[in-house]
């Protein structure tokens, strides 16, 4: 009797994309192995915004209750002029978002999201997560793929239906789908810091009136975003400036003179933050071209930042990784007779969505970093729009729901 094709799904990377994909495949009855290069899932990173298109999926996968304790449901996104601190636009969130988009808008520390996903993965008997294990290569064959995994200097082989490559922006797995894209430095850096709400910087932000909301302070060539995380006990602060390429890192450093120069037109209360928050970690923002292959017919799919890292100006990096994991599992389940057809349909569907989201991010950057008459026109337009009208403009993004497969 001919040997049956394996249903075992192998995943490289236990970031947001890899862990979501693991849960999405497991709830559909696929046995899953996740291999993570890091020795353990560490408390790294800073804040993330999770819009309803992402939390809807987390809810479907059962992760939302575990995350809600540590996340915050902000009341609004408030856009402000960084020099006057005056409000120029507002998108209602909180209960209004939950009513409008049928899922909450949350802000969370990346580690809290990763922990909530990992806790669920651990409870799922169909998933085996191994840390300290680097996926090195894949060999396709008639029954699926054999993946080489390096653990403590030793290579072992694992066979399965397919490899899901969720190895992040500096992906090595891209070569496995003949995707020659490299992570390109965008010329922009993100200065990040998480501070306690009762710290000097936290109290200064509270005086500006940021309490319980996402705030974006806009200035020519610069913007700063802050929102609560860790059940409201901390604030995530992230400032965007031009900067130098400082390598492939989530926690580099640069001279704060660059930040202060970019903040020179901001209100004194904001400028003071450059010193008050303590040591900034600097993330050189890299992107990956979207017009390249995301799958190989031989059974490899790239998801999350590995496929399409984008600038964070639409705050959709984690959300797109979550959407990728869920939709990939749905497509594979829907076409059990042809993995190639499943991956091809998945890629086509995702490409349309990712391109639209990336375009929105590019537009946000131009609008938020504008100066002179363009900034004046932007402020006029935003001030004339009712908050509900601004929310309507986000229906395509936040109201998106994956097909039930
Ligand atoms: C350390 C870190 C900190 C971050 N901090 C923030 C932040 O503060 N704010 C924000 O918006 N975004 C942050 N991000 C990015 C954010 O998580 C992603 O943009 C988004 O969630 C998409 O996630 P991803 O799973 O595609 O990639 P990632 O989150 O980058 O996950 C990729 C995972 O793959 C693992 N890996 C890589 N190569 C291999 C291999 N060969 N075999 C096995 N495992 C491998 C990596 O160790 C990593 O855990 C951070 C990412 C990392 C890795």
Ligand 1 cavity residues, CB under 6 Å:
12-18, 35-38, 44-46, 48, 110, 134-135, 166-168, 172, 192, 250, 304-306, 312, 317-318, 321
**Residue pLDDT tens, the chain, 405 long:** 455 678 999 999 999 999 999 999 999 999 999 999 999 887 677 899 999 999 999 999 999 999 999 999 999 999 999 999 999 999 999 999 999 999 999 999 999 999 999 999 999 999 999 999 999 999 999 889 999 999 999 999 999 999 999 999 999 999 888 777 788 999 999 999 999 999 999 999 999 989 899 999 999 999 999 999 999 999 999 999 999 888 888 888 899 999 999 999 999 999 999 999 989 999 999 999 888 899 999 899 999 999 999 999 999 999 999 999 999 999 999 999 999 999 999 999 999 999 999 999 999 999 999 999 999 999 999 999 999 999 999 999 999 999 877
Distance between CA 284 and CA 244 in Å, rounded? 8
User: What spacing in Å lies between the alpha carbon of 81 and ligand 1's midpoint?
Assistant: 32
Picking from 317, 394, 325, 289, the residue whose alpha carbon sits closest to that of residue 165 is: 325
**To which residue do tokens 């399409």 refer?**
308
User: What spacing in Å lies between the alpha carbon of 378 and ligand 1's midpoint?
Assistant: 34
Ordered alpha helix ranges (H), 272-386: 273-276, 305-308, 317-334, 339-368, 372-384
Ordered alpha helix ranges (H), 124-255: 200-208
Strand partners, 67: none
Which residues in 14-51 are b (16+ Cβ under 10 Å) and which e?
bbbbbbbbbbbbbbbebbbbbbbbeeebeeebbbbbbb
Residues sharing a CB contact under 8 Å with residue 23, sequence separation 6 or more, in sequence order: 61, 62, 63, 117, 120, 121, 124, 127, 325
**Closest atom, ligand 1, to C-alpha of 315:** 11
Q: What digits encode the pLDDT tens for the residues 173-201?
A: 998 887 777 889 999 999 999 999 999 99
User: What spacing in Å lies between the alpha carbon of 212 and ligand 1's midpoint?
Assistant: 27
Q: What digits encode the pLDDT tens for the residues 257-295?
A: 999 999 999 999 999 999 999 899 999 999 998 888 999
Is 223:285 a contact under the CB 8 Å cutoff?
A: no
Torsion of CA 327, 330, 336, 338, to 10 degrees: -20
- Give residue 75's pLDDT: 96
User: What spacing in Å lies between the alpha carbon of 337 and ligand 1's midpoint?
Assistant: 32
Q: Which run of H or E residues covers position 157?
A: strand 154-160
Q: Give me the sign of the Cα torsion angle 280, 199, 114, 104.
A: negative
Q: Ligand 1 pocket test: which of 10, 12, 15 has the largest number of ligand atoms within 8 Å of its C-beta? A: 15
**Closest atom, ligand 1, to C-alpha of 49:** 11
- Give residue 180's pLDDT: 75
Distance between CA 32 and CA 60 in Å, rounded? 18
- Give residue 3's pLDDT: 59
Q: pTM, whole model, 2 decimals?
A: 0.95
**Alpha carbon distance, N-terminus to C-terminus of the chain:** 31
**To which residue do tokens 């131009």 refer?**
366
């Amino acid at each position: 009797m001919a040997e049956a094709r394996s249903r075992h799904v192998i995943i490289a990377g236990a970031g947001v994309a890899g862990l979501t994909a693991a849960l999405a495949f497991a709830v559909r009855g696929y046995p899953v192995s996740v291999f993570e290069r890091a020795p353990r899932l560490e408390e790294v990173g800073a804040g993330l915004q999770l819009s309803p298109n992402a939390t809807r999926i987390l809810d479907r996968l059962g992760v939302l209750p575990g995350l809600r304790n540590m996340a915050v449901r902000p009341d609004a996104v408030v856009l402000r002029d960084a020099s006057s601190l005056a409000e120029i636009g507002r998108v209602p969130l909180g209960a209004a978002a939950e009513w409008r988009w049928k899922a909450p808008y949350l802000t969370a520390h990346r580690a809290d999201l990763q922990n909530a996903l990992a806790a669920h993965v651990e409870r799922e008997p169909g998933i085996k997560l191994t840390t300290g294990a680097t996926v090195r290569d894949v060999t396709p064959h008639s029954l699926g793929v054999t993946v080489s995994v390096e653990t403590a200097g030793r290579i072992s082989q694992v066979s399965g239906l397919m490899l899901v490559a969720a190895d992040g922006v500096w992906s090595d797995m891209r070569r496995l789908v003949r995707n020659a894209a490299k992570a390109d430095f965008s010329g922009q850096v993100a200065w990040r810091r998480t501070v306690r709400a009762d710290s000097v910087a936290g109290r200064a932000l509270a005086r500006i009136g940021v309490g319980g909301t996402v705030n974006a302070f806009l200035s020519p060539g610069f913007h700063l975003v802050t929102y609560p995380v860790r059940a409201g006990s901390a604030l995530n602060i992230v400032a965007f400036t031009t900067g130098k390429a400082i390598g492939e890192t989530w926690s580099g450093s640069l001279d704060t003179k660059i930040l202060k120069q970019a903040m020179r037109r901001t209100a004194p209360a904001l400028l003071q933050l450059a010193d008050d928050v303590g040591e900034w970690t600097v993330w050189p923002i890299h992107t990956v071209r979207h017009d390249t292959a995301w799958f190989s017919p031989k059974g490899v799919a790239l998801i999350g930042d590995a496929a399409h890292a984008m600038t964070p100006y639409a705050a959709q990096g984690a959300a797109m990784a979550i959407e990728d994991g869920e939709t990939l599992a749905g497509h594979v389940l829907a076409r059990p007779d042809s993995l190639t057809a499943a991956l091809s349909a998945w890629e086509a569907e995702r490409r349309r969505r990712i391109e639209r989201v990336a375009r929105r991010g590019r537009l946000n950057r131009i609008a938020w970093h504008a100066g002179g008459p363009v900034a004046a026109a932007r402020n006029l337009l935003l001030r004339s729009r009712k908050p509900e009208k601004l929310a309507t403009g986000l229906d395509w993004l936040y109201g998106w729901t994956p097909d039930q497969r």
